[in-house]
């Protein structure tokens, strides 16, 4: 669960975000709220959230000011998702320049919010909270060996139930999803990091290099070299 701070000067707007998060099983842990820019900065320093849902238009210190201040004075990286009633291009520009991960327009659309959070989480959110938990488990532990039977034990369901969930939501098996996830990460590393293919295979949880090559080829239709 990602620790999240909600910032908006309107109570109804903060409520809307909370409802949408609860109702859609979005895996965010709301650890606090703030009703203006100064309060937001204060809470960020105290609560150390990983994600801030930040309204732009607030009296006094606005959202842009908050991001600017945090960028300059806060030691850790924070994910900002900016929320605004305007669709001005300029706002989008300066928000993104200050490191906003995404921009949502008011009134906030549940679907857009989910997409945006998924982008930050690195996996697709579903409306099934059990499945979301498994997905989160994969996204956190993909570097280590993950076995279907251990997973089933951990979440107190059967292997079949897990596979049924994956079939329903992703039209693939648990193993296939895991492999896809790992190969996606591998491609990211191939393109951005200066690592050998063997190191990358290990980084994304493949102990057997041959199996990595085989899986890579079957998913992408190409070789890791082509992505380097």
The answer to whether residue 2 forms part of the interface with other proteins (CB under 8 A) is: no
Distance CA 25, CA 38 (A): 30
In angstroms, give the least distance from the CB of 15 to other proteins: 5
| Binding map of other proteins across residues 84-123, x = CB under 8 A, - = no contact | -xxx-----------------xxxxxx-------------
- Which whole-number Å values give the CA distances from 98 to 6, 43, 65, in the listed order? 18, 19, 10
Half-sphere exposure of 14 toward its Cβ, with a 13 Å CA cutoff?
18
Residue with tokens 């945090």: 70
Among 12, 192, 207, 221, binds other proteins (CB under 8 A): 12
- DSSP output for 46-81: HH--SEEEEES--SSS-HHHHHHHHHHH-SS--EEE
In angstroms, give the least distance from the CB of 9 to other proteins: 10
Phi-psi region of 180 (alpha: psi -120 to 50; beta: other; left: phi over 0): alpha
The answer to whether residue 218 forms part of the interface with other proteins (CB under 8 A) is: no
In angstroms, give the least distance from the CB of 128 to other proteins: 18
In angstroms, give the least distance from the CB of 134 to other proteins: 26
Q: Which is nearer to other proteins, 12 or 171 (CB)?
A: 12
- Burial class for 222, CB neighbours closer than 10 Å (0-12, 13-18, 19+): exposed
Cα–Cα nearest to 66, from 108, 6, 113: 6
In angstroms, give the least distance from the CB of 84 to other proteins: 9
Q: Which is nearer to other proteins, 92 or 195 (CB)?
A: 92
The answer to whether residue 127 forms part of the interface with other proteins (CB under 8 A) is: no
Q: What is the contact surface with other proteins in residues (CB under 8 A)?
A: 10, 12-13, 15-16, 19-20, 23, 57, 85-87, 105-110
């Amino acid at each position: 669960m990602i620790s999240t701070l909600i910032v908006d000067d309107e109570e109804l707007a903060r409520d809307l975000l909370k409802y949408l998060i609860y109702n859609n099983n979005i895996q965010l842990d709301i650890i606090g709220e703030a009703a203006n820019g100064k309060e937001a900065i204060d809470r960020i320093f105290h609560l150390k959230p990983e994600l801030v849902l930040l309204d732009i238009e607030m009296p006094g210190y606005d959202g842009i000011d908050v991001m600017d201040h945090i960028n300059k004075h806060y030691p850790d990286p924070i994910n900002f998702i900016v929320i605004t009633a305007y669709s001005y291009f300029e706002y989008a520009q300066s928000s993104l320049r200050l490191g906003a991960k995404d921009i949502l327009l008011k009134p906030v659309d549940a679907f857009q919010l989910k997409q945006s959070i998924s982008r930050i989480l690195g996996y697709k959110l579903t409306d099934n909270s059990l499945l979301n938990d498994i997905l989160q488990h994969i996204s956190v532990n993909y570097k280590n060996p993950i076995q279907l039977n251990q997973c089933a034990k951990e979440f107190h369901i059967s292997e079949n139930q897990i596979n049924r969930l994956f079939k329903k939501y992703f039209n693939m098996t648990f193993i296939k999803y895991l492999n896809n996830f790992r190969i996606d990460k591998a491609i990211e590393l191939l393109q951005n990091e200066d690592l050998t293919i063997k190191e990358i295979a290990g980084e994304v949880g493949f102990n057997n290099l041959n199996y990595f090559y085989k899986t890579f080829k079957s998913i992408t239709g190409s070789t890791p070299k082509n992505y380097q």
